[in-house]
Structure 1
Amino acid sequence: MKHLSFLNKYFYKYKWWIIPGIIFVIISNIFGVVPAQVVGHAFNLITENIAIYQLFNGFNRQQVIYDIFSYSLFFFGILILIMYLIRGLFLFFMRQTIILMSRHIEYDMKNEIYAHYQKLSLGFYRRNNTGDLMNRATEDVNRVRMYVGPAIMYTINTAVLFCLIIYFMFDVNSTLAIYCLLPLPVLVITIYYVNTLINNKSEKIQEQLSKLSSFVQERFSGIRVIKSYVREDQTQAVFAQESNAYKTNAMSLVKVQALFYPSMLLLVGLSTILTVYIGGKQVIDGAITPGNIAEFIVYVNQLTFPVTMLGWVTTLIQRAAASQKRINEFLQLAPDITSNNTETPEFEGKISFKNVSFTYPDTGIEAIKDINFEIEKGKFLAIIGRTGSGKSTLANLIMRMYDVDSGKIEIDGKELKGLNLNNYRDQIGFVPQEVFLFSDTIKNNIAFGLSAVEDGQVEQAAKNAAVYNNIIDFDLKFETMLGERGITLSGGQKQRVSIARALIKEPKILIFDDCLSAVDTKTEEEILSNLGKIMKGKTSVLIAHRISTIKNADKIIVLDNGRIIEQGTHDELLKNNGAYAEMHDNQLLEEENS
């Protein structure tokens, strides 16, 4: 239960739902137990009136006795019906408070989890797959809801009903009550033993379900690759294997439950047999009436449902505890990147790296080593280098997706760690290497970074990104819906829509992370020409592989194995006759050969 203690704050928040719910539970159970006493009185009335009726056999008074007897039974029947109607009404009120409360808690939990996910740094998403994150926010939360709703409701209901029945049993006859309750200790031991089994099996089921969800999500995202390599049968076989593992774990839990419930019903049946046997002896001794036996049988049968629910509730609690443990694992994670500054200045765009080194915490790879450079506001910085040289890492560090291990990054002379992160990122336009578009309209994808869009803004951004003519060729133009990850568009079109999304913000700093690789040379020149007009007086950082893309940059940095090996303008680097000049000559040779 220690993992479920996380939910106490929600119980306190919704205390005015729980308290009335408990009151409704108590009232409904009172009207559920009292009819047993009415049945006892009615049974006594039947036995007594049958004897009187037979005593007046042959007399005119016999019909009067019969009428009184009939009216009395009718009265008792109506009384029991009214009591059960009142019980049903309060059971309805009980569900309207406790079950509705559980839905509110589910809503709050999902919002809290999603909000916390968004606070966590990029490294968190590198370590965890999407399927597992989704499972914890949906399936696990649903299992917790079953605890805060049905499980708590039936637990309170069972506890109240059990206390009332025990009280009335001992009030009638303590000896008979003790015999009726003899099987209960065995039941408690059984539940205690089964709890551990259910908890262990529930955790295995949830872990396997996360693996299954992750597998399906990943395969659907990569369906194009699967079809290209004709691996449908192979992925189907792996899915069947994972599904079989889930089925095996689930069936193992079902087997435990299948033995658990009949065992409980057997113990309840044993209580009924003891009631009839011991109660019969008590009637012979004159200690109780036959009506008391009927009353006790009703009590025992009333205990059948709570005892049966006890097993189900136990399962719900154990599975909820396993799910809440998984949820807490992520909720207790503190974000690596934090920002307490609330100031919202406008940045000019001067960027300085001073002895910056960075190692990825997940892999231990030292991506950046002792980097020093400075770019003045409004200048155009280009970064070039071989694959794995650290270019994208530099972009991530400028965006403060990670914090540096040593050294410091300054923006306008202020250390990046001390800035208001949301305000800073809001003034940056970022086009990632791996383009991501949402399953939404082209218009909404371009306007994603703005809270409000003015007329013509989206169209102008599309023109600046050289994708306007492609968009207007679609039937629905800017209202065209994109498939998952923008699958409707070609690679080049996706990149240009992503560029338009960054340009529409009119950012103070613009970062292009090798995002022109999928466009042809002519389109690239058009985009760069437009970029020169838009970003005039603003800082631009362009990561590229093609030298033709960056030759007009104010400063070019050449990276190799995480270190700066050369920096300067295009002409200066060619004169140095170093690594940059070698790349330039190789690319010219490739172009001539092609």
Structure 2
Amino acid sequence: MKQLAAVNKYFVRYKWRLLLGILFVTISNLFAVLPPVVIRNVIDQVQANIDSYHLVTNSVLADGMRSYIFTLVLWNGLLLLGLALLRGVFMFFMRQTIIVMSRLIEYDQKNEIYDHYQQLDTHFYKTHFTGDLMNRMAEDVSRVRQYTGPAIMYSVNLFVLSVMCIWGMVRVDAWLTLYVVAPLPLLAFSIYFVNRVIYRKSEKIQAQLSDLTTTAQESYSGIRVIKSFVQEKNMLGFFRNTSEQYKESAINLSLTEAIYFPSMNLFIGLSMLITVLIGGYMAIKGNVTPGNIAEFVIYINLLMFPISSIGWVASITQRAAASQKRINEFLDTDPKIVSPAKATESIVKGDVEFSHIQFTYPHTGILALNDFNLHIKVGQKVAVIGKTGSGKSTLAHMLLRMYDPQEGDVKLDGVSVRDFNLQRLRAQIAYAPQEAFLFSDTIYNNIKFGREDATESEVKEAARLADLEKDIATFAKGYETVIGERGVMLSGGQKQRMVLARALLKNSNILLLDESLSAVDTKTEKTILGNLNHYLRNKTAIVITHRIFTSWVFDQIIMLDDGQIVEQGTHDELMQLNGRYAKLYRHQTETNLA
């Protein structure tokens, strides 16, 4: 219950539904414990009247006595039917309050987890699998819902019904009640023992299910790669092994849970046997009536399902506790990149300064930037060139504050990025990342993702700047074309240009392009860069690339290697230096000519 204490806030939020549900449980059980009293009275009265009937069998009173007994049974039968109907109505209300409450809690909890996921920093997503994230929000939350709904409902039902039934039995005979409930402590002990085993196994199963989900998710995402390398058989074998481990654990847990139900029947059967044996003996002695024995038997039968549900409820609770523990692990993970308590409200004009940046990726230990310094003035166009792994993309991460440097600082207009509200900071930087991620939506909505309040004409202008209009015109539905998961219906160049259009739609004072034209041909690249010449007037542009853009004039070009600037200057200055940039430029131009 320590782990499940995290959901108590939801019970407080929906306290009126919960209290109303408990009221309906109480009323429905009230109508459940009244029938044994009615049946006891009927049996005792019928027995007494039958004894009287035998005395007047041959007299004129016999017909009246038979009619009275028939009427007594009939009206009490109708009363029992009415009580059963009323119990059914309030059981319906009970489910409509408590079970609906559990669905509302499930909705709130999923939203809370999803919201927390979005707040977590990039490092978290580098070290956790997508399948595990999905499983904790889907399967684990679903198991917690079983606790907040059915488990709570049946627990309250068990408590209320047990109190009412035991009170009804005590009113008849306290000693007989004590004999009847004597096996229950043994039942409680067995439940406690098995619960500890179930909790441990449930936690293991949920972890294995996350592995299974991750394996499936990666297979679906990489299906084209799997087919290209003809690895279907190997992937199936890998999935089968993971699935086999999950299956064995699940069967093992089911075997453990199977102990509950035979033990329930055993202890309830003992209670029933004690009722008949000791109750019959007491009836012979005249301490109780036959109606009392029937009343006790019905009480035991009433308690049979709630007591039997103890094992099921306990199993649900243990599974939910294991799942909630996994959920809490993520909810208790605080993002390392957060907005300051007092954030600056200034509007970014475009002055960017990297000052003595020292950064090592925490999940790999790779040194990405080493005492890096760079100042970009408002409106300047800067190219950052370097080989793979030289630290180019890390600059984008630093500027957008996806990571914070271990040493040094990044400033915008002289203000540290740590002093900005995260959402406000990122909203003022247009970013076209290296990975062209698109949503399974229309072309129009994927571009408009860049700015929610953009007009249709602005969306189309962004597409024109990215040289995407002619491609969109070839689709039958134009901008309303659904591009599939991750833009599977588009080519690599079309994906990149759509991501670029999304960034251009923001119309920010800083444009950050991270290898965003690597998949487009030279002709299309020149068209795009020509379109951007006017667009980027008075805007700061940082172009991260591994190749040289010959059609653009940059105010600064820096060559990166091992996280340090090895060359810096304009095109002419670097060509005169005759170093790495000049060598790369000559190699690229010769290749293009060839």
Aligned residues: 593
User: 1:486 is matched with which residue?
Assistant: 487
CA RMSD of aligned residues (A): 1.3
User: 2:364 is matched with which residue?
Assistant: 363
What letter corresponds to residue 514 of structure 1 in structure 2? E
Q: What SS class does the counterpart of residue 337 from structure 2 fall into?
A: coil
Contact 2:529 2:551 in 1 (8 A): no
Cα distance in 2, alignment partners of residues 520 and 28 from structure 1: 74
Shift of 1:589: 4.2
User: 1:543 is matched with which residue?
Assistant: 544
Cα distance in 1, alignment partners of residues 270 and 548 from structure 2: 87
Q: What SS class does the counterpart of residue 512 from structure 1 fall into?
A: strand
Contact 2:212 2:239 in 1 (8 A): yes
What letter corresponds to residue 217 of structure 2 in structure 1? Q
Contact 1:551 1:570 in 2 (8 A): no
Q: What SS class does the counterpart of residue 370 from structure 1 fall into?
A: strand
Q: What SS class does the counterpart of residue 193 from structure 2 fall into?
A: helix
1:323-353 Cα offsets, whole Å, 9 max, x none, are 1111111111111111134544321101011
Cα distance in 2, alignment partners of residues 548 and 441 from structure 1: 31
Cα distance in 2, alignment partners of residues 12 and 262 from structure 1: 37
Cα distance in 2, alignment partners of residues 75 and 382 from structure 1: 94
Shift of 1:551: 5.7
Cα distance in 1, alignment partners of residues 193 and 362 from structure 2: 43
Cα distance in 2, alignment partners of residues 28 and 72 from structure 1: 25
1:481-529 Cα offsets, whole Å, 9 max, x none, are 0111001000111111111111111111111101111111111111111
User: 1:166 is matched with which residue?
Assistant: 166
Question: 96-105 or 582-591: which moved more?
Answer: 582-591
Contact 2:109 2:141 in 1 (8 A): yes
What letter corresponds to residue 530 of structure 2 in structure 1? S
User: 2:516 is matched with which residue?
Assistant: 515
User: 2:105 is matched with which residue?
Assistant: 105
Residue 235, structure 1, aligned to residue 235, structure 2: yes
User: 2:252 is matched with which residue?
Assistant: 252
Cα distance in 2, alignment partners of residues 47 and 244 from structure 1: 63
Contact 1:524 1:549 in 2 (8 A): no
1:257-304 Cα offsets, whole Å, 9 max, x none, are 222111111210111111101111101111101111100100111111
Structure 1 gaps of 5+ residues are none
1:148-181 Cα offsets, whole Å, 9 max, x none, are 1111111011001111111111111122111111
1:399-450 Cα offsets, whole Å, 9 max, x none, are 1111111011110111111112212211211111111000000010011021
User: 1:381 is matched with which residue?
Assistant: 382
Q: What SS class does the counterpart of residue 404 from structure 1 fall into?
A: coil
1:227-285 Cα offsets, whole Å, 9 max, x none, are 11111122112222211111111111111122211111121011111110111110111
Contact 1:144 1:321 in 2 (8 A): yes
Contact 1:395 1:513 in 2 (8 A): yes
Question: 237-246 or 543-552: which moved more?
Answer: 543-552
What letter corresponds to residue 59 of structure 1 in structure 2? S
Cα distance in 2, alignment partners of residues 231 and 489 from structure 1: 25
User: 1:566 is matched with which residue?
Assistant: 567
Structure 2 gaps of 5+ residues are none
1:335-354 aligned within 5 A: 335-340=335-340, 341-354=342-355
Contact 1:550 1:556 in 2 (8 A): no
Q: What SS class does the counterpart of residue 441 from structure 2 fall into?
A: coil
User: 1:462 is matched with which residue?
Assistant: 463
Shift of 1:550: 7.5
Cα distance in 1, alignment partners of residues 435 and 456 from structure 2: 29
Q: What SS class does the counterpart of residue 405 from structure 2 fall into?
A: coil
Shift of 1:105: 1.2
TM-score after normalising by structure 1: 0.98
User: 1:557 is matched with which residue?
Assistant: 558
Shift of 1:554: 0.9
What letter corresponds to residue 89 of structure 1 in structure 2? V
Contact 1:542 1:550 in 2 (8 A): no
Cα distance in 1, alignment partners of residues 572 and 418 from structure 2: 35
User: 1:223 is matched with which residue?
Assistant: 223
Contact 2:202 2:318 in 1 (8 A): yes
Shift of 1:586: 2.9
Q: What SS class does the counterpart of residue 478 from structure 1 fall into?
A: helix
1:354-392 Cα offsets, whole Å, 9 max, x none, are 101111111111111000110101110100011100000
User: 2:425 is matched with which residue?
Assistant: 424
1:540-579 Cα offsets, whole Å, 9 max, x none, are 0001111235862110111001111111111111111222
Contact 1:382 1:550 in 2 (8 A): no
Cα distance in 1, alignment partners of residues 383 and 399 from structure 2: 14
Q: What SS class does the counterpart of residue 482 from structure 1 fall into?
A: coil
Q: What SS class does the counterpart of residue 449 from structure 2 fall into?
A: helix
Contact 2:529 2:552 in 1 (8 A): no
Residue 43, structure 1, aligned to residue 40, structure 2: no
Cα distance in 1, alignment partners of residues 434 and 237 from structure 2: 33
Contact 1:121 1:401 in 2 (8 A): yes
Cα distance in 1, alignment partners of residues 168 and 273 from structure 2: 19
Residue 263, structure 1, aligned to residue 258, structure 2: no
Shift of 1:584: 2.1
1:117-516 aligned within 5 A: 117-340=117-340, 341-516=342-517
Q: What SS class does the counterpart of residue 152 from structure 2 fall into?
A: helix
Contact 2:511 2:542 in 1 (8 A): yes
1:69-105 Cα offsets, whole Å, 9 max, x none, are 0000111111111222222222222222211111111
Cα distance in 2, alignment partners of residues 77 and 419 from structure 1: 76
Q: What SS class does the counterpart of residue 138 from structure 1 fall into?
A: helix
What letter corresponds to residue 522 of structure 1 in structure 2? K
Cα distance in 1, alignment partners of residues 57 and 236 from structure 2: 82
TM-score after normalising by structure 2: 0.98
